[in-house]
Chains A and B, each alone.
Chain A
Amino acid sequence: MLDVKNIKKDFPIFKNHENDKKPLIYLDNAATTFKPKSVIDATSRYYLEDGANAHRGDYDLAYHVDKEVEKCRAHLASFLNCFSREIVFTSGTSMSMNLVAYGYGIKFLKEGDEILLTEAEHASNVLPWFKVSETTKAKINYIPLDEEGRCTPEALRKVITKNTKVVSIAQVTNVLGFKIDIKEMAKIAHEYGAILVCDAAQSAPHMKIDVKDLDCDFLCLSAHKMLGPTGIGALYGKFDLLKKMDPFMMGGGDNARFDMCGNVAYLEPPAKFEAGTMNIAAIYGFDEALTYLENIGLENIENHEKELRNYAINKLKELDNVIIYNEKADAGIITLNVKGVFPQDEASYLNSKGICVRSGEHCAKLLKDRLKTVGTIRVSLYLYNDKSDVDALYEALKNGGNFLDAFFN
């Protein structure tokens, strides 16, 4: 397992809450993650030292900012194993998905075409496709999940047809935490002439991704879920696809020239998609977040989470009052309920013990028909969690039926 005591020292938020009345046990990493000091410092460094806009290279400071932005782009490209020109900065996964849906989906899909999703997708990988469907009359269908809620290549093979143009799925689903075999899915999609869009919001922070090996056509991620700042993320796209797709935001920085007769010459990707001033400070921080993850090693992170998850599952299974919905899942996500207690009541009880978890539908609204519950509690682990966090959760859940204790203490 990782040396969590030392890792925690890199995250100032833990120290800043050391003297609180209750401990800070953060188990909501699927929502967002804490930031190491190196990331926070890099973000400040932009404001403290560099300060200029990007793409405005007439003076030293501006030139330096451009270099930093391109350094982060190259870093992310090597992190994912692709070319820099295939990395578009966005505000995060949601914007990346919308960019694919508008820039590719609306441009190329038409009536009779089909988009394949699953019931386990996050709203950000569903609603943009609803819009594509509404605009182009292409149909949305769902790849059936197996009994446990997993999406398999065999299931895709059963439903895919010549009309399928887009298959868009999460590599790790945010409610159940199953890891999907994207490489095999992409292969099947390509056999039928469809593209594969991969939502990597919940996978990129926790496992090594090689987009060339996966052979996905697009991949979306958010920095804030991988120790980076909020408000920055990326879209990876195969260069020929990026070239032919449209920007969905137009403006300064994305065109070479235009005239008032409506003629525009757009820049090449990725600049074509990066109109307007970006979140430059966050790009500085994102670069450091990648460095931090690489220094620890994604494989080590994945193994740490796996071990911690096993420990948690074995321990929580001892509790008769706890229902676990995804015992067999792969990622560090555990979805559960305390019998007879509404998830939100349980989550506020856990909050009174200093334990941060998410209650609710976790945006996968379509899934609730499958789990047969209106909501769940989601526990999600990361590299700064250890067995003591799981032990605290265990102790709290043991008494979880008395959830109103929180209300009267």
Chain B
Amino acid sequence: MLSLTNEMKREIIMEHYNSPNNKVEDITKISNFENFRKIRMDSDSCIDDITIYLDIENDVIKNAYFSGVACAISTASTDILCDMVKNKSEKDALYIISQYENMLYEKEYDSEVLEELNAFSETHKQAARIKCATLGAFGISKILNGENDE
């Protein structure tokens, strides 16, 4: 993948924040919503409060949505992740998330698989934002590890 300039990273974040692809107001308007697995992620230290929905069939994520309110960093990262895990196996999705977390925590990571998530490579400079950048990722991996809110 091309290396992204800061200007490009900024555009990616603003684009997904201002017009997210996977954000829904009301999940019940989406067909088959009863079968989605979901998890509510409300941060204890800020007002971010989102719910993530995954439609999983035979270990493949068919669709991914989220609803709720959150800051730019949480919203954009969750939206990009939803884009990225669609039509991926649970295992591949977890691999992407693990590489994303490695990047945020300044460990070795495979930037090839991160695509637009590379826009968050500067997050460690504002350490307080790591929580925002990982809210959606934690939610998705929780669902993939078997959690499901009633």
Contact = CB atoms under 8 A, between A and B. Distances in A.
B6 A408 contact: yes
Interface string B68-80: 0111110000000
A359 interface: yes
Contacts of B128: 348, 351
B59 interface: no
A248 interface: no
Interface string A397-409: 0000001101111
A330 B101 CA distance: 45
Contact of B71 (A342, A352, A361, A409): A342
A344 B126 CA distance: 13
Between B46, B69, B70, B123, the greatest number of chain A beta carbons within 10 A of the residue's beta carbon is seen for B46
Interface string A343-364: 1110010011000000111000
B47 A361 contact: yes
Nearest to B6: A408
A359 B122 contact: no
A375 interface: yes
Contact of A344 (B10, B14, B46): B46
A264 interface: no
B10 A404 contact: yes
Contacts, number: 46
Interface string A205-246: 000000000000000000000000000000000000000000
Given A345-B73, A348-B129, A408 B10 contact: yes
Q: How large is the interface on A (under 10, 10 to 19, 20 to 34, 35 or more residues)?
A: 10 to 19
Given A342-B71, A344-B132, A406 B126 contact: yes
B115 interface: no
Interface string A371-405: 00011000000000000000000000000000110
Contacts of B14: 404
A343 B122 contact: no
Interface in B83-105: none
B48 interface: yes
A345 B70 CA distance: 10
A260 B74 CA distance: 57
Interface string B106-123: 000000000000000011
Given A342-B70, A348-B129, A407 B47 contact: no
Nearest to B133: A407
A268 to B, nearest CB: 40
Interface of B: 6, 9-10, 13-14, 46-48, 69-73, 122-123, 125-126, 128-129, 132
Given A344-B46, A360-B47, A407-B123, 16 more contacts: A342-B70, A343-B47, A344-B47, A345-B72, A348-B128, A351-B128, A352-B126, A359-B46, A360-B46, A404-B14, A404-B72, A407-B125, A407-B129, A408-B9, A408-B122, A409-B125
